[in-house]
Amino acid sequence: MDPKKQQLPPKENALFKRILKCYEQKQYKNGLKFAKQILTNFPEHGETLAMKGLILNCLGRKEDAYNFVRQGLRNNLKSHVCWHVFGLLQRSDKKYDEAIKCYRNALKWDKDNLQILRDLSLLQIQMRDLEGYKETRYKLFELRPTQRASWIGYAMSFHLLKDYDTALKILEEFRKTIQKTTYDYEYSELLLYQNLVIRESANLQEALKHLNTYEANICDKVTLQELRGELFIKLGRKEEASEVYRGLIKRNPENRNYYLSLEEALGLSTVEERLKIYEELKEKFPRAQVPKRLPLNYARGEALEKLLDPYLRTSLQKGVPPLFTDIRALYNDSEKVHIIEKLMSRYLRNLEETGHLCETDNEYKEPASILYVLMFLAQHHSYLGDSEKALQLIDRALNHTPTLIELYIVKGKILKHAGDFVGAYEALQEAQTLDTADRYVNSKAASYLLKANLVRQAEEMCSKFTREGVSAMENLNEMQCMWFQTECAEAYYRLGQYGDSLRKCHEVDRHFQEIIEDQFDFHTYCMRKMTLRSYVDLLRLEDILRSNRFYWDAARIAVTIYLRLHDKPLSVSTGENHINTANLDPAELKKLRSKQRKAAKRAEQNKVEEKKKEDKKSKGSGNSDDLENTPSEDLVPGKLERTEDPLGEAIHFLKPLQMLASNRIQTHLMAFEIYLRKNKPLLMLQALKRALKLEPSNPELHTCLVRFLKYRNEQLSQSGPIVDVITQEVTRLLPTTDPTSLNEDFLNRRQDSLPHRLQAARSMVLLDSVQRERGLTIATAVDSHLNNRSHQNVQLVLEWLESSEFNASPEEVSHFKNQCHKIFPRARAFFPPQPPASTTNESSELSPSQSTSTANHNHVDSPSS
């Protein structure tokens, strides 16, 4: 190429400058016009071609954009503009690593270009390339030593690399240059950031000194005191610490942490000491809740009763609906439960007899007290597992005040605990109709509909609050409404609609990706606004973002489904499959088929709609100026459930959990399941070792161990380094390496626990199918003396019987179901095939919900939580 061709004459050069300006000001049409003018005379001009591509990218014409930018770059490889533009393009496609390379190339040709250096530094911090970030910030600092952001960015790069001394030196030099005005919040934030770095450098003395020196300049007085308290405690200066915390409590007597820190500062150890302090604080702050509530955690026996009595009575007089939620934390202590029940029963008796909560009280009768006592006791008994008693009590409350919406919610919850998902959602729908403007109740109702697998109704319910003109599902996705999406994924999973379920899981995963990408905006904003403490917090949060519960839920479901799809891939042609149709009776089968047909039809419709929207989008995006326009590569359920590499997908979801949720045993059990199928014995061993460390007596872990031993005996050769390692480890970890005797031993030890018996039975059958009968007997024994005999655990047994692993006959299933139905009469899972009419009488003009028959959701293993 001819370098001369790349030089523009002055007139065209001026035009080119105008293109740049147009791009910055988002006047894309004009930009293209000028580009055309240049290109008619100089069709080879690389930088103009690149700019044209960049502008086209902003107009949504991705493909053209790449063509022009590439062509431009080819014509002028020595132009920093072309490389920079290519980097911007890659960045807009979220190919950050590629973008970094482009920026680096651009800097080769123009090493002091500020704009490129800034863009590069943003990418480096985004990708956590901290060493690279430090270098770039140094360069920027050198070039622009008068700018505030240069100093701060440079200092922060050392802070993030844990080089506290250098960071502090830079910060201190910078601080000296600042002209102090009387009230300067940004200066105050800088000081607090500086203090954060000092504290992280573990120089607590210095941190305290720093606070004292700049006390007058720190505007955030609460933080100042909180930091002081924290430092005093850490330095062992308890007396001063207690003074600080007393001051903070005076400022805000409802902050629980202040009280806990005060306890620490005062060095309280015995219950009596603690109670005494709270007596004192209660007197000092008679209107505060916290000093009344906290001592309930410590007190026991008579002392507790003395404290609880007034606490409960005040709440019951006032009418505090979440009283049970408030008190529930005490239920881990059976003695406390007993006292609560005793007091509450006494109140109920008193109210029934005299209308007063307490025998000695005879001034004022609060008519709603009995209502709240009944509501509390209903929740109490439901919590303790006595659903029938709970229902009687809540119905009494409903009789008393049928307009109190909370009562319907409690009733729904009781029914849910009892396993009656239909009755539960009916109660919530009733609540919802009473106040259709209440979004909380609306969401709760939707959530309960999902628990009953009524996805469409749940979506309809939500649609009352979502944006008009878009489908609710779509709007909920747009709003990153993850509780809905994870529960929806679970419902689809139970329905056997794996593709739909996976779609929801992927949507949730994308939200997390998006949140990480949204970080980008803060890299510049926070530096400019000096909100440095929050910025560092943000960076640290983003690093562990996927430890969030919603990611956990989505990943767990996705992994479970992918494992299943690996074991039993769906046929390519039909949508029907996964569900074990062999043992459904014809009527159910028909129902199922028609449901599947409908689902397929709906999916088809969705696709058409999506297509339409896509078209509209590409048409309408002419004026969308969003650089970060993501290509909406769509999640198509049919494709998701027919992935080529289900285990690879499962690993994609698992990886973050191994990093961020390694304290949950399920993470490692899932890892084991995946690696067993991938034939990776060392990784299996690693997963099992981690699991054993967390919870050696976990029932599911046992079956994994048995399967591992079986795998070792059957699949691995007799010797070799891997086998030796495994043998060595297994001998160390387990009492025996013979799976059968491991299982027998386990069964002997855990005879009394239902989930353990189930796993022992599973292992037994897996090891030797001749043991089928014995396994069945062990798993289906559901005597009342067994531990952990909840309907959820019993349902796991049922699911196992119906799974292909055991393949129970219809007689065996219905026999077991009948047995369970007697024990858990309300649990839908054990209803005989013909679902009886709803058990709640007061429902409802809503269509009866045959579609929630549990007939098909039992055919899949529930993803255990």
Partner 1 sequence: MRKARIELGDVTPHNIKQLKLLNQVVFPVSYNDKFYKDVLEAGELAKLAYYNDMVVGGVCCRVDVLDGQRRLYIMTLGCLAPYRRLGIGTKMLEHVLNFVEKEGNFNSIFLHVQVNNDGALDFYKKFGFEVVETKQHYYKRIEPADAHVLQKTLVKS
Name the residues that contact partner 1, by CB under 8 A. Answer: 317-319, 363-364, 366-368, 370-371, 400-404, 433-437
Name the residue nearer to partner 1 (CB basis): 183 or 364.
Answer: 364
Alpha-carbon distances of 857 from 449, 491, 584, 819, rounded to whole Å: 15, 9, 12, 19
Name the residue nearer to partner 1 (CB basis): 724 or 842.
Answer: 842
Q: Does residue 447 have a cis bond before it (omega within 30 degrees)?
A: no
| Residue 129 parent element (H or E) | none
Name the residue nearer to partner 1 (CB basis): 371 or 579.
Answer: 371
Name the residue nearer to partner 1 (CB basis): 367 or 735.
Answer: 367
Alpha-carbon distances of 192 from 187, 219, 838, rounded to whole Å: 9, 10, 61
Name the residue nearer to partner 1 (CB basis): 368 or 541.
Answer: 368
| Amino acid identity for residue 248 in this structure | L
User: What is the smallest separation between the CB atom of 159 and partner 1, expressed in angstroms?
Assistant: 50
Structural tokens at position 58: 């902003």
Name the residue nearer to partner 1 (CB basis): 54 or 371.
Answer: 371
User: What is the smallest separation between the CB atom of 418 and partner 1, expressed in angstroms?
Assistant: 25
Name the residue nearer to partner 1 (CB basis): 401 or 686.
Answer: 401
d(CA 534, CA 449): 39
Name the residue nearer to partner 1 (CB basis): 625 or 842.
Answer: 842
- Compute the radius of gyration of the chain from its Cα atoms: 33
Going by C-beta distance under 8 Å and a sequence separation of 6 or more, which residues neighbour residue 367?
none
Closest CA to 707 of 658, 762, 771, 769: 762
Name the residue nearer to partner 1 (CB basis): 106 or 445.
Answer: 445
Instruction: Count the Cβ atoms, other than its own, within 10 Å of residue 743.
Output: 26
User: What is the smallest separation between the CB atom of 438 and partner 1, expressed in angstroms?
Assistant: 8
Name the residue nearer to partner 1 (CB basis): 394 or 488.
Answer: 394
User: What is the smallest separation between the CB atom of 404 and partner 1, expressed in angstroms?
Assistant: 5
User: What is the smallest separation between the CB atom of 387 and partner 1, expressed in angstroms?
Assistant: 25
The DSSP-derived string for 228-286 is HHHHHHHTT-HHHHHHHHHHHHHH-TT-HHHHHHHHHHHT--SHHHHHHHHHHHHHHST
User: What is the smallest separation between the CB atom of 368 and partner 1, expressed in angstroms?
Assistant: 7
d(CA 86, CA 248): 54
Structural tokens at position 493: 């999973």
User: What is the smallest separation between the CB atom of 316 and partner 1, expressed in angstroms?
Assistant: 12
User: What is the smallest separation between the CB atom of 454 and partner 1, expressed in angstroms?
Assistant: 21
User: What is the smallest separation between the CB atom of 348 and partner 1, expressed in angstroms?
Assistant: 15
Name the residue nearer to partner 1 (CB basis): 319 or 569.
Answer: 319
Q: How many helices (H) and strands (E) does the chain have?
A: 44, 0
What residue has token string 């060095």?
267
Secondary structure (3-state) at 774: helix
d(CA 346, CA 348): 5
Name the residue nearer to partner 1 (CB basis): 286 or 648.
Answer: 286
Instruction: Count the Cβ atoms, other than its own, within 10 Å of residue 36.
Output: 12
User: What is the smallest separation between the CB atom of 375 and partner 1, expressed in angstroms?
Assistant: 12
Name the residue nearer to partner 1 (CB basis): 247 or 367.
Answer: 367
User: What is the smallest separation between the CB atom of 554 and partner 1, expressed in angstroms?
Assistant: 33
Tell me how far apart the terminal alpha carbons of the chain are, to the nearest angstrom: 63
d(CA 517, CA 507): 15
d(CA 355, CA 198): 62
User: What is the smallest separation between the CB atom of 323 and partner 1, expressed in angstroms?
Assistant: 14
Alpha-carbon distances of 277 from 26, 246, 265, 270, 298, rounded to whole Å: 64, 11, 12, 11, 12
d(CA 538, CA 545): 10
d(CA 199, CA 205): 9
Name the residue nearer to partner 1 (CB basis): 365 or 568.
Answer: 365
Secondary structure (3-state) at 513: helix
User: What is the smallest separation between the CB atom of 371 and partner 1, expressed in angstroms?
Assistant: 8
Show the CA angle centred on residue 222, arms to residues 217 and 226, nearest 5°.
Answer: 105
- Residue 366 half-sphere exposure toward CB, CA atoms < 13 A: 18
Alpha-carbon distances of 96 from 89, 105, 119, 180, 446, rounded to whole Å: 10, 14, 11, 40, 39
Q: What are phi and psi of 787, to 5 degrees?
A: -80, 155
User: What is the smallest separation between the CB atom of 397 and partner 1, expressed in angstroms?
Assistant: 11
Alpha-carbon distances of 535 from 211, 516, 580, rounded to whole Å: 21, 14, 52
User: What is the smallest separation between the CB atom of 464 and partner 1, expressed in angstroms?
Assistant: 10
Name the residue nearer to partner 1 (CB basis): 439 or 597.
Answer: 439
Alpha-carbon distances of 196 from 211, 223, 245, 527, 608, rounded to whole Å: 11, 11, 20, 16, 54
CA 65 to chain centre: 37
Going by C-beta distance under 8 Å and a sequence separation of 6 or more, which residues neighbour residue 545?
512, 515, 516, 551
User: What is the smallest separation between the CB atom of 366 and partner 1, expressed in angstroms?
Assistant: 8
753 forms bridges with which residues in the sheet? 787
User: What is the smallest separation between the CB atom of 358 and partner 1, expressed in angstroms?
Assistant: 13
Name the residue nearer to partner 1 (CB basis): 320 or 330.
Answer: 320
Name the residue nearer to partner 1 (CB basis): 102 or 404.
Answer: 404
User: What is the smallest separation between the CB atom of 401 and partner 1, expressed in angstroms?
Assistant: 6
Name the residue nearer to partner 1 (CB basis): 216 or 437.
Answer: 437
